[in-house]
Structures are given as structure tokens and as C-alpha cells.
Structure 1
Amino acid sequence: MSLEEQLITILALLSLAVVVGILTTWFERLSYTTGLLVIGLLISLVGSPFDFELSAEFILLVLLPALIFNDAVNIDVVAFRENLVPILVLAVIGLVLSIGVIALVGPTLFGFSFAVAILFGAIVMPTDPVSVLAVFERLGVEERLTILVEGESLLNDGVSIVVYSAVLAGLLEAEARSVAVGEVLSLSEFVGVVGTGIAVALVGGVVVGTIAGYLAYELLAKLDDDLLAVVISVVLAYGVYIGLDELGASGVVGTLAAGMFFASRTNRTDISRQTHATVETTWSVAAYLANTVLFVAIGIVTPWPLLVEYAPQILVAIVVVFVARAVVVYPLVGVLNWVEHPTIPRSYQHVLTWSGIHASVSVALVLGVADEFPGVLTEQLAALVFGVATFTLLVNGQTMKPLVDRLGITD
């Protein structure tokens, strides 16, 4: 694709964003992300005029850092810290247990090997509540619930990537040696690798991200220039993400820590309001554009023939993913309520379960598998993941408002 064609494609996507934005102002029940997805799906059905490709690297290295850093600089750091224990429990223990549920039933329901079932769980279980959070903001949902949903989503992306990377590495080595995965990595070794990986991802990400955020803040404090502040924040967000990714730690956690520290320190200093406003506006626009490209692109690249071919399995996968989340969220929160105060009410638990939308990271990871393992297995995984992503975005995202209204959990 030539540079001119790329620019035309970008302008077309932005034009679609304007159209969807207008539609969402006319139809309040239609969320922005759902509208983007529907437009993308329609383009996919009638045939896209664009030579458009969506890659795992583009999502993970270009779009995701912008989304994470924007969330980090806008999240309530105090509320995040106050709810850190339940967030960590849901994002780490909850995700691992959910993957375990998928791994147990995957071989029977989908014909996967145990290793591929774990891989599928790691791909499909991370949450992406962007459309849910938009509903929360519009309705004025209680802040604690918003923090729990957003915090879990931000952290479980990093955990899922660790599990995914460990399984994918084992599968690749097994294929190269023409042996079973179990001969490359036993279950106990796999648990050790994943446990170590999660610890390194979390600790390394927090340490490096915090140090980088501090250095960026010190530099900005000496300059207090709004345009330089934007450049510094861009270098911070992408530098931490890519650097930690190369080092084997979590770029997601690192960027989150860097953004939160950077924002919390600048908010407590004499840095000018103009600088604050410029940085916040820049990242809000960046995240808006990233979401626009992402959700239209997901719709455009949705493999309709595969969705039709694997329709029965997709329906099963939708049920399994929901059950895997429910059987983890309710018991885990029940245990938390024994030891943590204030407790998480049942109404919150219903929303936490239903807010399990599985889209951006899931799509990126399954596209990564396609790069490594072209063939029938990849087609099956792609069909299941795109099917779950489309369903949860359209159904869970659009029914969140009635659920919140019924539960009465607005401020």
C-alpha cells in the first residue's frame, strides 16, 4: 500500500468515526465502540474498498500503549490504591483460574490439546471494558465499581500476555523438534515459568515504570512547557512499553505505573494548568483515535466465512467464556469479602461478571498465533475469538445500561 493509499484509508476511518459519533448523539443507547464495530462488520460483509490489514504488532505496539497511558493519567490513583487488593486478586488469580477452567473443558468441547486449550484461555479471557466504561461515565456509576472494572482490565492484559507467551513458546519449540509439548515443558515446569513470568512482569513493570515516570516528571518540572510535556509523555508511554517488552517484563504494567506516577506527581505540583490540560487533551484524542481505528478494523477483518463454519462452536465458546468468568468472580469476591472491607456488594459482582468484554487484546493475540501457525488450528482459534469478541461487544456492551439501571448503582 502506497503512502497516499494509507492516508486515504486513515481519512476514511476518521470520516467513519465522525459519522458514528453523530449517530451516538442521536441514539443514546448506541455506544461509540459498538457503532464502530457495526460499521466495520458491514464493510466486511459488502467488501472493503481498503487494502486494510490488522496485525498483532499494530495493536500491541501502536494502539495499546496509547490506550493504557490515557487510562493511567486519568484514573483516580487514590481510589486505585484503596482497591488494589481486589483488583490484583481479580486480575491475576481470577484470570489464571478462568484460563484453568477453559483448559479443563477445551479438549472436550473444541477438540484442542491441553496446551492449545490453555492458549485459547489466555487469548480469550482478558477483558476490555471500554464500551462499558463509557456507559458508566454517562450514567454516573459509583466510582468504586468503575475503578474495579477498569483496574482489573488494565492489569489482566499483562497477565494474559505472560501466559500466552509461555504456551506459544512451548508450542513453537515442540513443532521445531517434532515432539509433543509435554516433552518440551511439563505441567509443573509450565506453572513455574508462568508464575515467575507474572512476578517479573508485575514487579519489573512497576519498578521500571515508576522510575521512568519519576524521571519524566523531574524533567517536566524543570521545563513546564506544554508542548514539551506532550513529547515527554509520548516518549515515556512508548519507551517504557517497548523497552519492557524487549526485556521480557510487562509493557502494559510498566506503562500503567509510569502514567499513574507521572500524573499523580504533576497533579500535586505547581506545573501550570495549561500544561496539564494539553497533556490530558492530547492523550484523550490519541485514545479516541486508537479506539476508532481498533474497533472499525476488528469489524473489517472479522472472518465471516469462519464464523459461519464454526458457528456451533462459537455459541459454545460464548457460554463457556461467560461461565468461566462467573465461576471465578463470585467465589473470589466471596472470599475477599471475608477478609477485605469495605465488601464488594452482590450488585457489583453481577456487573463485574457481565462487563467481561473480550476484544482488543484477544484479537491481537489470536492474530499473533496466525503469524506463527497458519492452518486449520489457527482458523478455529480465530473463529472462536472473533465470535466471542463480536458477541460481547454487541450484547454485553449494549445491555450494560439496562443492567446498571436495574441494579440501581449510580451515584
Structure 2
Amino acid sequence: MDYFLIASILVFLSAMFGYLNARYIKLPTTIGLTLITILFTMGVFLLSYLDDSLLTAERFIVSQIDFKVVLLDVMLSFLLFAGALHTDVHRLSQQRWPVLAFATFGTLASTFLVGLCTFWLFGLMGMNVALVHCLLFGALISPTDPIAVLGILKKAGAPKNLEIKIVGESLFNDGVGVVVYLTLFGLAGNTESAFSLGSVLELFLVEVLGGVLLGIFLGWATYQLMRSIDDYNIEVIITLATVMTGTMAATYLHVSAPLAMVVAGLLVGGDKMRQKAMSKTTEEYVDKFWELMDMLLNSLLFVLIGMELLVLDLERDYVLAGLLIIPIALLCRYLSLMLPISAFKRRLNFEPNTNLIMTWGGLRGAISIALALGLAPAMERDLFLVITYIIVIFSIMVQGLTIEKLIHRLSLKS
């Protein structure tokens, strides 16, 4: 089966499921597509007792797709650039220090809290899992997913200052989370020699600072090119080239492509760029193009999340561990945010219950699943993949559906 046929099938399913959601269910796109795809997959399972042809075909399609490569190497750069492009840069700059603290200290603290608590839980359940593998799981489950957060949070009507904290954290902690994951992955896979602290810090600094610097260069180069012409068609293509060549450059330079795309998107979407480099027509076409790109890739992505149910090894202990770790992951996120919030809340006039809303509104998504799929079999891949999938589905379906009610109950709705 060739890639064009697979892509055609996925686009068709995304279109049909999106239509059903828009016409009848009327949930946020992220939640609606995930729900419908899971129901469709479960229906295929039930139908397989009579005829397994459809189940075999769907499993074959999923087996042909490397979810980790598709998301991390292809989709993620486009989605992060589109999300950053439509972020209010002025509000984000006002909240830059807490956002930076959430994305760095918060992600690191959550990684170690989740890892240690998971290691303790596995010990109680009689499951022999190495601590470094639990920390690796903490790294992949700690980043919140901007792809899932953006649409749901805007619909929920959270106060703008609170929304920008959650969205800003989600945009930046992906890059930080991936770097932490890669660092621990190297530690877990390095059985021949000691893994030095110096090499860990070097990898972290090169990936993070290198990604930020590359993003600044990409944003500046895009600004210079777009400022010198007035042709909205070419200018849209320039932004597309920024993402594609920037991702390739980040891979070649071994720096963080997610962070580079976030920084480039913020610069291209900032007020200075829009006022000095874009005409009103260009601005409208750039925004519409990236909104469409965002919607298309989101639709495909969450259909794929639902279909990944077919590749899971749903052992009873794995499922039980996943259900037990849901509250652990939420509690660890709440604790990891306490210190940054305490440090900034008086100076920046934080909303009441900021920690509670950020904990419940910090959704996990496709990035966690992609990182779990990248684990080696010796790192308890099947176990952590099931646990990650359960947490992500709970996050999207339960937290995503109730965040608006929580905001309303706390009287925070704008």
C-alpha cells in the first residue's frame, strides 16, 4: 500500500469524522475527532467477530505509519509554528518569566516527581521497572500539548492572562520536554560507560539555546524577505519555506526544532512583523493559510491517536497502572507549578486558582504518545505506551470536556 493511498484514507476519515462532529456532536474538534475515531475503532473490533476484514485493513494501515516520525519530524514543526503565529506576543511578553519558569523548572520538576512516584507505584504492584525508565516516562508525559490546549482553551473562555500562561507554557515546554526525554533516553541506553553530568548539560544547552537562536535567525530572515516585496502569494510560500527548511536545518545542526519553530512563529506573527513587512492582504492570506494547515494536520493527528488503539498491548496490569497513574500525574503537575506560581503571583497579579486551572487545563496529547512509541522494547515500551495512551485519552476527553465548567464554577470566565 503506497503512502498516497494511506494519506487519502486518513484525509477521508478525517473529513467524514469532522463532518459528523460538526453536524451532530458539536464538540471541540480535538475532542470530537478523538471520540469518533475511538468509537469507530471499537466498532471495528466488534465487527471483527463476524468478519475481520475491516480490522485487518485498519491494522495494516496503522502498521504502515511511523507515528513518531510523522509527528516529531513532520507535523510538529508546522503545528507549533501555526500556534505561535496566532499567539498574542504582547501578552506573552508580559508573562515571559512565569512562562519560562513553567516550561523549564515545571517540566523538570514534573519529570522527576512523576518518575519517582511511578517507580514507587510499580514496586507496590510487584512490577520490576528500572528507575531510569520511570524517569523517562516522566519526561514524555510532563509536557503539555499545545495542539490539544489551544482550541479547547479558547472555547472555554479563560481569562486572557491565564490563557496566555497555559498556551505559552505549552508552546515552549514541548521543546524542553523533548530535550529532557532525549537526555534520559541516552542515559537509559548507555550501558557501556558512565553518563556524565557535563554531557547532559551540554546536550541540554546546545539543544535549547541552539533551537532558540535558530528560531531568531529564521524569524529575522523571513522578516527581511517579506519586507522587501508585496506579493501575498510569494510571502505565504516564504513562511512555508521557513518551517520546512528550518526543520531540516535544526535536524542537521542537532538543535531543538520545536523551540526553533515556536520562536520563529512568534517573531513572524508579532506586531512589528505584521506592521512593517505585511500588507493587510498578505496578513489575511498568511493567517488563513496557517489556520487551514493547523486544522488539516490537527484533524489527521487526532484521527491517528484514535487509531493507535489498535497497536496497544492491553494487559490488565498495564491498564490498571495507567488508571492509577492518572491522579499521580495530575498531582505531580500541581506540585511542579507551585514554586513558579508562588514566585510570580504577587508581582504579576495572577488570577485566583491559577494552579488548579493550569493543572486541569494542561492537556497531554500526541507528543507524549509519539515519544512513548520511540522507546526501545528494553525500556518497557509496551507498558509505558498503554499508560501514556490512557492518560492522553483521559486528558483530552475528561479534562478537555470539563475545563470550561471548572472555569465557570470558579467564576473566572472572561
2:190 is the counterpart of 1:184: no
Q: Distance in 1 between matches of 2:69 and 2:312?
A: 23
Provide closer, same or farther for how the CA distance between residues 255 and 219 of structure 1 changes in structure 2, counting only shifts above 3 A: same
In the TM superposition, 1:327-342 aligns within 5 A as 327-337=335-345, 341-342=347-348
Letter aligned with residue 271 of structure 1: M
| Aligned positions of 1:217-366 closer than 5 A | 217-264=223-270, 265-269=272-276, 271-302=278-309, 303=311, 305-306=313-314, 308-337=316-345, 341-366=347-372
Q: Which residue of 2 aligns with 1:214?
A: 220
Q: Which runs of 5+ in 2 are unaligned?
A: 45-54, 123-127
**For residues 191-234 of structure 1, what are the alpha-carbon distances to aligned partners after superposition, in whole Å with 9 as ceiling and x for unaligned?**
x4444333333322222211121111111122221111121111
User: Identity of counterpart residues, as a percentage?
Assistant: 25
Work out the CA distance in 2 between the residues paired with 1:65 and 1:72: 11
Paired position in structure 2 for 1:398: 401
Distance 1:198 1:272, change over 3 A: same
Which runs of no fewer than 5 residues in structure 1 stay unpaired? 178-182
Equivalent residue for 2:73, pick from 54, 57, 61: 61
Render the CA deviation track for 1:39-83: whole Å, top value 9, x for unaligned.
Answer: 221232233554233420100122111111111111111111111
- Residues of 2 paired with 1:128 and 1:296: CA distance? 16
Which segment drifts farther, 3-12 or 148-157?
A: 3-12
Q: For residue 180 of structure 1, what is the aligned residue in structure 2?
A: none
**Alignment partner for residue 92 of structure 1, among 77, 82, 104?**
104
Contact 2:137 2:384 in 1 (8 A): yes
CA–CA distance in 1 between the matches of 2:315 and 2:397? Answer: 15
- The alpha-carbon deviation at position 354 of structure 1 amounts to 0.6
Indicate if the aligned counterparts of 1:54 and 1:301 stay in contact, CA closer than 8 A. no
How many angstroms apart in 2 are the aligned matches of 1:139 and 1:106? 31
RMSD: 2.1
One-letter code aligned to 1:218 = Q
What is the rounded CA distance, in whole Å, between the counterparts of 1:285 and 1:12 in structure 2? 16
Deviates more, 1:376-385 or 1:147-156: 376-385
- Cα drift, residue 21 of structure 1: 4.2
Letter in 2 for 1:157: D
- Aligned mate of 2:32, from 28, 31, 35: 35
Partner of 2:179: 162
Could you tell me which residue of structure 1 aligns to residue 43 of structure 2?
46
How far the C-alpha of 1:32 sits from its partner, in A, is 1.4
1:218-259 alpha-carbon deviations (Å, 9 max, x no partner):
111222211111211111112223322332221111111111
Contact 1:45 1:304 in 2 (8 A): no
Change in 2 beyond 3 A, CA 1:376/1:44? farther
SS at match of 1:408: coil
- After superposition, what is the alpha-carbon deviation per residue over 1:137-186, rounded to whole angstroms, capped at 9, x for unaligned? 23432211111001101111111111111121233332xx4xxxxx532x
Distance 1:319 1:141, change over 3 A: closer
